Homo-oligomer: A and B are copies of this chain.
């Protein structure tokens, strides 16, 4: 198909293939958003008199057709189309003739892709939040269920003090709740409408950016037209920085579970259905899923870095380098969503071997508690510490269950504070549902 900037000469084939890359494949995820943006843009062009009502209706009908095709996986973007914007404009020109040639009035592919990515990121952050909500509920359940199962807490990978499976799961839960705050903060920050910035310098037409923003459900217009252009990559990296935090925590969960399900520990068992085997060693049952979650945390971290590296030395205004940002963002989102769901699956189905956990609570892990008992008898802590250090070989027997029960200060094994996290889960559930429904309604109105 014709390029939008066609000037009558043929571009070198290897240059074309290189510059398009596999963008046309990734752009499939953007068809819906590009069409919604075009409907809102057309409605604005109608308002300022560039389009007649009839023209607007013709364009809207075709754009809704494209969305319907895309929903069925039937709207293809060919490498020769360069990108989603061109594929759609070409379709419109084919379907609507001259009217189709009017849609690109007062906009650029620069602000179009900015819009598409913005809508895409908003939707995907909601999807990430869906995953977090579900995972937090699982963690809440598991933390409650195992709140009284003791296990050794570790520092320096050595046994340190009595802990509990509930404390561990509660720690995961609170990390995910913090991550949910990061996700909603990021959502609120990027919820700004870029359309109307054109190539980063505005247009000499009285366009109504507020109208477009409202039609598309943004909370505000991103004002300065050059900043819109400069925020490409910035907003993507803000989104990725949330995903990185989630993946770092999932990597910790994976690492813990790999260790605690090794034969030397045996605290946890993964169900067979979640494990894979070895081609050579008949006896093996491997926690591949956890190892890959750990590895993919490095991948998402690299995606984040890649975006930041790409934009770091660039001058103001659009640079084609921005195209290379799309893929790491999309990969980062895809991987993170998948990893949340899989961690949820693993934690929700993990088997806790209570006896192994209790038996692992060997005497030395009670040393600190012994020292603090001396303190409560009036011995200064540093002296109690030295006394106990010498006594190690003769530590009295301790009941680990009683031990964790007795630690009742805020956040300790005996008081996990789970009602508090339950409330927080409710709060993020409500937020996410509200945002999701608002967006859904906005898009229905736009198409309707």
In this assembly, does A226 line the interface, its C-beta being within 8 Å of a C-beta of chain B?
yes
Residues 179-205 of chain A, each 1 if its beta carbon lies under 8 Å from chain B, else 0: 001100100010000001111111111
- Cβ–Cβ contact B102 & A380, under 8 A: yes
Task: Quote the shortest CB–CB distance from A410 to chain B (angstroms).
Answer: 4
Task: Quote the shortest CB–CB distance from A190 to chain B (angstroms).
Answer: 9
Roughly how many angstroms separate A382 CA and B89 CA in the complex, as a whole number?
10
Q: Select A202's contact among B241, B286, B301, B411, beta carbons within 8 Å.
A: B411
Roughly how many angstroms separate A202 CA and B227 CA in the complex, as a whole number?
42
In this assembly, does A225 line the interface, its C-beta being within 8 Å of a C-beta of chain B?
yes
User: Please, which residue of chain B has its CB at the minimum distance from the CB of A285?
Assistant: B158
In this assembly, does A430 line the interface, its C-beta being within 8 Å of a C-beta of chain B?
no
Q: Select A310's contact among B210, B298, B414, beta carbons within 8 Å.
A: B298
In this assembly, does A435 line the interface, its C-beta being within 8 Å of a C-beta of chain B?
no
- Cβ–Cβ contact A382 & B93, under 8 A: yes
User: Please, which residue of chain B has its CB at the minimum distance from the CB of A322?
Assistant: B295
In this assembly, does A68 line the interface, its C-beta being within 8 Å of a C-beta of chain B?
no
Chain B residue contacts of A1, Cβ below 8 A: none
Chain B residue contacts of A168, Cβ below 8 A: 226, 316
User: Please, which residue of chain B has its CB at the minimum distance from the CB of A286?
Assistant: B156
Roughly how many angstroms separate A110 CA and B153 CA in the complex, as a whole number?
14
- Cβ–Cβ contact B323 & A295, under 8 A: yes
- Cβ–Cβ contact B189 & A292, under 8 A: no
- Cβ–Cβ contact B312 & A248, under 8 A: yes
- Cβ–Cβ contact B321 & A291, under 8 A: yes
- Cβ–Cβ contact A367 & B283, under 8 A: yes
Chain B residue contacts of A380, Cβ below 8 A: 98-99, 101-102
In this assembly, does A80 line the interface, its C-beta being within 8 Å of a C-beta of chain B?
no
CB within 8 Å of B: which A355-412 residues: 360, 362, 364-365, 367-369, 371-373, 375-376, 380-383, 385-386, 388-389, 392, 403, 406-412
Task: Quote the shortest CB–CB distance from A180 to chain B (angstroms).
Answer: 11
Among A277, A282, A292, find the residue whose CB has the most chain B CB atoms closer than 10 A: A282
Residues 245-276 of chain A, each 1 if its beta carbon lies under 8 Å from chain B, else 0: 10011011001101100111100000011111
- Cβ–Cβ contact B106 & A279, under 8 A: no
In this assembly, does A25 line the interface, its C-beta being within 8 Å of a C-beta of chain B?
no
- Cβ–Cβ contact B237 & A245, under 8 A: yes
Q: Count residues of chain A with CB under 8 A from any CB of chain B.
A: 188
Task: Quote the shortest CB–CB distance from A414 to chain B (angstroms).
Answer: 8
Q: Select A241's contact among B201, B241, B345, beta carbons within 8 Å.
A: B241
Roughly how many angstroms separate A170 CA and B228 CA in the complex, as a whole number?
11
In this assembly, does A109 line the interface, its C-beta being within 8 Å of a C-beta of chain B?
yes
A278 and B155 in contact, given A324-B292, A342-B18, A416-B224 (Cβ under 8 angstroms): yes
Task: Quote the shortest CB–CB distance from A340 to chain B (angstroms).
Answer: 12
In this assembly, does A144 line the interface, its C-beta being within 8 Å of a C-beta of chain B?
no
- Cβ–Cβ contact A160 & B201, under 8 A: yes
A410 and B321 in contact, given A14-B341, A231-B175, A277-B5 (Cβ under 8 angstroms): no
Chain B residue contacts of A265, Cβ below 8 A: 264
Residues 316-329 of chain A, each 1 if its beta carbon lies under 8 Å from chain B, else 0: 11111111100010
- Cβ–Cβ contact B273 & A409, under 8 A: no
- Cβ–Cβ contact A200 & B153, under 8 A: yes
A411 and B221 in contact, given A5-B277, A273-B15 (Cβ under 8 angstroms): yes
Q: Select A153's contact among B199, B252, B287, B323, beta carbons within 8 Å.
A: B199
Task: Give 17 A-B contacts (CB < 8 Å), ordered by A residue.
Answer: A93-B382, A104-B385, A107-B280, A108-B281, A156-B288, A160-B278, A167-B201, A167-B225, A182-B189, A196-B411, A198-B368, A204-B372, A227-B411, A230-B249, A288-B320, A295-B320, A295-B323
